[in-house]
Structure 1
Amino acid sequence: MSGDRGGESAPGPGAGPSDVFRLDGKRVLVTGGTRGLGEQIVRLLAAAGARVATCARTAGDLGALEASLPTEEPGAVFTEALDLTAPDRLEAFVQAAAERFGGLDGVVACAGGARGRGLEEADARDWSATWELNVGHAARLVKAAVPHLRRSGGGSVVVIASISGWKPGPQAQYGAAKAAQIHLAASLARELGPDHIRVNAVSPGSMLIPGKRWDRMRAEEPERYARFTAEVPCGGLVTPLEVARVVAFLLSDASSGISGAHLPVDRAQNAPTPNGY
């Protein structure tokens, strides 16, 4: 799988504020910001001068993240522990973040994941939960953020999808949900364009993260890992930092002409897993 899993603890070399599009004064909300790609996005946005709000399930993880961010402005980071699939919790967090920052300029729907295994093993609850974690949460986030983005004169929405959304691989419920996210972003770009709200989808490839699935495969099953990465012609799996840089660009004014786009960040990867079809 790709998209929402694993994470680096901090941006790597070349991730300083001078190396990203500046976001000074931008107020951005990111869901799922304590691990994996979400953490990289939060760290990169903070380094670029943005004020960042993020949520996750575990208060301890949020506290550790907030304490480790090198922000110069007091109150530049706002966090809250919540289950974003719980009724009204995500909406309340969006409202609280907008009140804390005096508005919002961007949101990133990064939280996601999958439940269940193959078709004959997954039940209706697995399909429903996977849909809600990905499509439902993204739609609710954008809906809650629109009034605040509109009052700010417009803004940028980034939906984190996955290459699994159009390259077939297991499990089908995950790929179907990611495909729906890509369509959601394109449709909302048209609907919200008159309010100067841009909406784009970013699809990470399988991300290489220390200690996580593909890194363990590289150490424990080198021949299988070599066969898998042989289908990535640009030199190995993508990293969360590389994906986060694209998200930062889409949140910046430098990307003002881009809306309704779907941007894969996968180094031209083919199958999304070693078991791709």
Structure 2
Amino acid sequence: MTSSGRDRGKRAATGKFAGRRIVVTGGSRGLGEHVVRLLLSGGARVATCARKPESLEALRSSLDASAALFIRPLDVSVPELLERFVEEAASELGGLDGVVACAGGARGRGITEASAEDWATTWEMNVGHAARLVATSAPHLRAAGGGSIVVVASISGWKPGPQAQYGSAKAAQIHMVSSLARELAVDGIRVNAVSPGSMLIPGKRWDRMRREDPPAFERFRTEFPGGELVRPEEVADVIAFLLSDASRAVTGINLPVDKGQNAPTPDGY
């Protein structure tokens, strides 16, 4: 068995998600895909959404036929579509025990170039989507006797760097989590944020830099004390912890998963 196979087997053996019903937005690629796969390997029933139907179908086809996965293609920044997805997921899964707001993104460039639409779109993809996800799923979590919500923020939410619209939206997510943790605690619902550092994801920005501009990538690696970027599976493990009973006394926190990263981009602070 390969080392990756042993890792998957270990995760499945130690997973404590049997019977859990969990929604993950943006689960077809990157970090979201790692979260979905990890939860499924631990016995969870998972619902996920993404913009592209083909990426969701590719995920489904790569899984064992017994995997309990419910998928819907949609844009999370469209309120009625996201709300309908959560309701359909709760119906399909028989309720909800956990939620992960993993979808996000940014539009626009610097402050003198970014339009009002760029700011509004970035806000909706991050803060608006997470807020509506929490609002729609909270009644289902309450009905289940409580549950765990994890919002994927970013190192950019508290270590400033370009672009401002993205960092501002991620900072708002972090603040929102601390507020919602207090508001929803009475219902037994925990709310936490995870702030990943720069992740090395195949085909994404840092992977392209590594392949296309090795000197620039080597300079960027110096922002990490250990010289290595964060891997998405490392962040997925932390998200799984916050969804599990092992973190039952943890709520209202922002947990950095950044390997001690300094600046969030090669451009510095």
> Which of the five TM-score ranges fits, normalised by the shorter chain?
over 0.9
Question: Greater relative contact order (Cα 8 A, min sep 6): structure 1 or 2?
Answer: 1
Map residues 115-130 of structure 1 onto 2, 5 A cutoff: 115-130=107-122
Alpha-carbon distance between aligned partners in 1 of 2:131 and 2:6, rounded to the nearest angstrom: 34
Give 1:69 shift.
1.9
Deviations 1:114-157 (A, max 9, x none): 01000000011100000000000000000000100000000000
Superposition RMSD in Å:
1.5
Alignment of 1:130-149 (within 5 A): 130-149=122-141
Separation of aligned partners in 1, 2:111 and 2:63 = 42
1:20 touches 1:245 (CA, 8 Å); kept in 2? Answer: no
Which of 11, 15, 28 is the matching residue for 2:8? 15
Correspondence 1:153 to 2:151: no
Q: Which runs of 5+ in 2 are unaligned?
A: none
Moved over 4 A (4+): none
Deviation at residue 216 of structure 1 after TM alignment = 2.2
Structure 1: state its 5+ residue gaps: 1-10
- CA distance in 1 between counterparts of 2:202 and 2:73 reads 25
Note if 1:101 corresponds to 2:93: yes
Three-state SS of the structure 1 residue aligned to 2:8 is coil
Name the residue aligned to 1:244.
236
1:33 match: 27
1:257 counterpart SS class: coil
Q: Determine which of 183, 203, 222 is the counterpart of 1:230.
A: 222
Which deviates further from its counterpart, 64-73 or 47-56? 64-73
For 1:270, what is the secondary structure of its paired residue? coil
The residue number in structure 2 matching 1:65 is: 59
| 1:113 equivalent in structure 2 | 105
Aligned positions, number: 265
Tell me, yes or no, if structure 1 residue 52 matches structure 2 residue 52: no
Equivalent position of 2:252 in the other structure = 260
- Contact kept? 2:15, 2:43, Cα under 8 Å: no
Q: Does structure 1 residue 209 correspond to structure 2 residue 201? A: yes
Distance 1:273 1:27 in 2: 36
Distance change (3 Å), C-alpha of 1:151 and 1:58: same
For 1:15, what is the secondary structure of its paired residue? helix
Q: CA deviation at 1:219?
A: 2.6
**Greater per-residue helix proportion:** 2
Give the whole-Å Cα distance in 2 for the aligned partners of 1:85 and 1:267.
30
Equivalent of 2:80, from 73, 88, 109?
Answer: 88
CA distance in 2 between partners of 1:244 and 1:66 (Å): 19
Displacement of 1:71: 5.8
Taking the aligned partners of 1:71 and 1:242, their CA distance within structure 2 comes to 26
